[in-house]
Amino acid sequence: MRSITVLAMGKLKEKFYIQAVEEYTKRLSGYCRFQLTELPEYRLPEDPSPAQIAEGLAREAQLIREKLPKGAWLCVLTPEGRKLSSEGLAETLDRVQLSGKSHLCFLLGSSFGLDPSVKAQADLRLSFSDMTFPHHLARVMLLEQLYRAQSILAGSKYHK
């Protein structure tokens, strides 16, 4: 059975996001071994300088590297990433598993993004859109798309 880990910087606070994440976590567990790990964001001042942001992202990168599952295929979500349809994501996940990788890891950075060194490690850099979304909504969107991809691969009627 496929394992999927989502590493997400920051803790959800809003009840409606928490409920959505819980629902998609439950749904995903029917298709794979699923784990969501929240990692603490580096605290930055109110109006951080570019140097402070870079330092914060570098510190977050250290924490991320400690939590990355060994040998897992890594996808990072980043605005400059590749855009895929839901079917394209499903095909990508299927190809990865057929290549012998049974553990997939998806990474959502903090509100300031990800350190370039983490992006460089990725097997896939993925973008949802050219639009900007709230950081916590992106987490829900990722889980929904992972569930949709699993549903497509299983031939269920969820994806129309």
From first to last of the 160 residues of the chain, give the pLDDT tens digit: 689 999 999 999 999 999 999 999 999 999 999 999 999 999 999 999 999 999 999 999 999 999 999 999 999 999 999 999 999 999 999 999 999 898 999 999 998 999 999 999 999 999 999 998 998 999 999 999 999 999 999 998 887 6
Please state, rounded to an integer, the average pLDDT across all residues of the chain: 95
Per-residue pLDDT, 159 = 72
Query: What are 117-126's pLDDT values in tens digits?
Result: 999 999 999 9
148: in domain: yes
Query: What are 63-82's pLDDT values in tens digits?
Result: 999 999 999 999 999 999 99
If one counts the domains in the chain, the total is 1
Which residue range is the domain that position 89 belongs to?
3-154
List Cβ neighbours of 123 (8 Å cut-off, separation of 6 or more).
73, 74, 75, 96
60: in domain: yes
35: in domain: yes
Distance CA(53)–CA(83), nearest Å, equals 26
Q: What is the CATH number of the domain that holds 31?
A: 3.40.1280.10
96: in domain: yes
160: in domain: no
Per-residue pLDDT, 2 = 85
101: in domain: yes
62: in domain: yes
CA angle, 126 as apex, 123 and 131 as ends, to 5°? 165
Residue 89's alpha-carbon distances to 24, 39, 85, 121, 129, in angstroms, are 17, 25, 6, 19, 14
159: in domain: no
